[in-house]
Structure 1
């Protein structure tokens, strides 16, 4: 990696934080190639063995010895793992320590591209419900794709400004805000982050963060948790935000235990409500990029909003499936009786019946981009399955599965014409290493490749 030229004002501030000797070590660390890390999807099985070492603060995280071609790994496209920066995986350690309720309602307020949302999704598993929100349309599309590939069906993807959550005060058991920031922690791997950095941009980011947290702070229910994080080092976007949050809302500090061998830097911020703690990841100390996170607990006696049950669900686009449609989906596809189904443009979606009330209540306020698992549609007596259904962890009763080798799997991912022998006519679920990849349809004289056109890979 070429030598990194850092902004002069940034250098002065970091020397002030670290001292000249430690700053030199910090600066040298930015010239090293960052280690590649992945986090596996525990609901899709362990990925193939590779030369890897564990991320110490996350049981599902691993460092790889070198960066492979993820584009040419079918398991990556099947949602078996997520390529995530290791420092961000510390969120899992926080969730474990605070014993966040796995059957809770979680919100990731600034969620794209989806690293922390897929982590939250894995944590709550089949028990909880997650709202993954992104305000920017293009980024919301990326978030939706990653949630679909992760495949757990416990997530609603929304595209809303934080202000649109105003009616949901006290609704969530946990709110995570990975705030848009000046990106100082990305200087090692992102030339653009260095070029765009300025003190004015830091101030602008801090103002944007205040606007977000002014809304987010109210959304946590009594006894719930707020997690605030950035990928930057300066106090204005970190410790000063702790002070801002405490000046606006009643919160209690949460101190997270850390192993000294992890070399994470703990900071303490004094407020009128006590000492609040932050956790800083410096690249000269940890195997990871720059990161900051702090945890707050809402007092037990704070407001709690329970969702109001809706007698007759009405939505401008989404319709509740009728009893006959629901029974047919359960019977034909082998789905759990404790399922709720909705239709959107004739396509049926599965959700966990346990969170029907929550979903229908939230749909009154939020712009929904995706939810649960899109299954497919009925065409007379035939069910036409969607790709989203294929890569989900839901059962797929009544469909033949056919295992592909690597070359065939890559042909499928390129959405090219396929030749597959010894399969029945109709819809066939193709797998790679027994992991579902998607659908092909055998028409007798030819095979249709039903991989989504917008997701196809072009690399050879």
Structure 2
């Protein structure tokens, strides 16, 4: 057993007051334990529940594992069959299931990287809703993009924008998640580096950054829509302080989320001049996860009729264009037998597919924000020839016109390391390689050898 982490004295004093003497020792003892490990299954990819997993009551398809396996060497992880997400963050699943939402919600995750909560929202929306997942930091946006592609549902648009850029989309979303950057007190056990970065000055800096984000986010839900605010910290300045900010400046109303007492989630009340707001905290000595704070607020309904965007006759974008009919009708263009019509776009040589009913929303987004990815990237169109891409292999869209090769675990690992693999298929051409029935990528069979088209930047580097 490890020694207690060396924690900042001011943090310890604040937590002791927050928890009280009866819980204080239990909290410190929990920080001495290894961080628990949990995963959330992708319900659309059919991976069975882990035999040794313990279901997490507040998070659909989530399980705590008895020990941390080597996820890097599990092809199912790379195929997007599950996401490694600490249990407390999965509370969002329970929250979404309690809200009065339309059948096909339009959602925003404003601070989305690395993608844990975005992939959770994507699963919740399924083939009904659309998610706009935003991350302003370029390097983190790339991680968000990779995780979204591997999740494979094709119901997400990724943007890279400052929250201030969303002003033209005010009153557009059925719910907005602000999982705000914070001082990270709830991650001290999992991420010791966050201890070194903590200071009272940093707490105040984070609170100011959060208030600025919320200043922009508050106008984005529709009347009657929801704003979900969460952090991975404990302190009231970053948590209740911002709930009071929203209540005082934007007229938001409290939303009660029913919880099972067996879950050991700590519910408390944030008193404001506008009313009492229930808030929820996760402590590591009570739950099988890390520290988390969450509050749900609702924008007051309006008598005004909601106006949905209409598809523009002319979509003018400096880089993105609707795919010309001559390309869609070309014999080499992929044929997708899906129940819902798809619309196609081209960015340079890259071809993308998106459900047609979301086109007005998407084009409104595309002309106002910096879109990094959307729907499913099918592949490249080069000199009247279609080259299938990795995102299509990982997606739920059909790929019935291609040969398939089921790989063993050892073969799949070699493929994911971007090493050559032998194919049993005699036919030359593109072959979709699967592991346990899940697409993981493409191989070009040349007869006497094959080319591995797994993205270089995704390859496994572990021996």
TM-score range, shorter chain: over 0.9
Q: CA deviation at 1:334?
A: 3.1
- 1:174 matched residue in structure 2: 175
Q: CA deviation at 1:247?
A: 1.4
Instruction: Summarize the alignment of residues 23-422 of structure 1 with structure 2, pairs less than 5 Å apart.
Output: 23-47=24-48, 49-301=50-302, 304=306, 306-328=308-330, 332-336=335-339, 338-380=341-383, 382-422=385-425
Looking at structure 1, the residues matched to 310 and 407 of structure 2 have their Cα atoms a distance apart, in angstroms, of 47
After alignment, is 316-325 or 239-248 more displaced? 316-325
Looking at structure 1, the residues matched to 402 and 204 of structure 2 have their Cα atoms a distance apart, in angstroms, of 56
Question: Of residues 445, 451, 458 in structure 2, which corresponds to 1:442?
Answer: 445
* SS state at 1:200 partner: helix
Q: CA deviation at 1:50?
A: 3.4
Q: CA deviation at 1:322?
A: 2.1
Q: Contact 1:86–1:288 (CA<8 Å) still a contact in 2?
A: yes
Q: CA deviation at 1:2?
A: 3.8
Q: CA deviation at 1:47?
A: 4.0
Looking at structure 1, the residues matched to 308 and 354 of structure 2 have their Cα atoms a distance apart, in angstroms, of 19
Looking at structure 1, the residues matched to 227 and 276 of structure 2 have their Cα atoms a distance apart, in angstroms, of 16
Q: CA deviation at 1:326?
A: 3.1
TM-score by length of 2: 0.96
Could you list the per-position Cα deviations for residues 422-444 of structure 1 after superposition, in whole angstroms to 9, with x for gaps in the alignment? 34100000000111110000012
* SS state at 2:404 partner: strand
Looking at structure 2, the residues matched to 106 and 337 of structure 1 have their Cα atoms a distance apart, in angstroms, of 20
Q: Contact 2:86–2:289 (CA<8 Å) still a contact in 1?
A: yes
RMSD (CA atoms) = 1.5
Q: CA deviation at 1:251?
A: 1.3
Looking at structure 2, the residues matched to 115 and 345 of structure 1 have their Cα atoms a distance apart, in angstroms, of 30
Displaced runs of 4 or more, over 6 A: none
Looking at structure 2, the residues matched to 69 and 377 of structure 1 have their Cα atoms a distance apart, in angstroms, of 34
Looking at structure 1, the residues matched to 303 and 29 of structure 2 have their Cα atoms a distance apart, in angstroms, of 47
Q: CA deviation at 1:252?
A: 1.4
Q: Contact 1:47–1:75 (CA<8 Å) still a contact in 2?
A: no
- 1:459 matched residue in structure 2: 462
Could you list the per-position Cα deviations for residues 186-227 of structure 1 after superposition, in whole angstroms to 9, with x for gaps in the alignment? 011111111111110000000000000000000010111110
Q: Contact 2:174–2:222 (CA<8 Å) still a contact in 1?
A: yes
Looking at structure 2, the residues matched to 368 and 307 of structure 1 have their Cα atoms a distance apart, in angstroms, of 18
Q: Contact 2:179–2:230 (CA<8 Å) still a contact in 1?
A: yes
Distance change in 2, residues 1:39/1:379 (3 Å): same
Could you list the per-position Cα deviations for residues 278-317 of structure 1 after superposition, in whole angstroms to 9, with x for gaps in the alignment? 0000111111100000001111117755325311001011
Q: CA deviation at 1:327?
A: 4.4
Distance change in 2, residues 1:426/1:2 (3 Å): farther
- Structure 2: gaps spanning 5 or more residues: none
- Structure 1: gaps spanning 5 or more residues: none
Looking at structure 2, the residues matched to 51 and 59 of structure 1 have their Cα atoms a distance apart, in angstroms, of 17
* SS state at 2:335 partner: helix
Q: Contact 1:223–1:302 (CA<8 Å) still a contact in 2?
A: no
Is 1:17 matched up with 2:18? yes
Aligned residues: 460
Could you list the per-position Cα deviations for residues 76-110 of structure 1 after superposition, in whole angstroms to 9, with x for gaps in the alignment? 00000000010010001000011433411100000
Q: CA deviation at 1:374?
A: 0.4
* SS state at 2:387 partner: strand
Q: CA deviation at 1:6?
A: 1.0
Q: Contact 1:157–1:368 (CA<8 Å) still a contact in 2?
A: yes
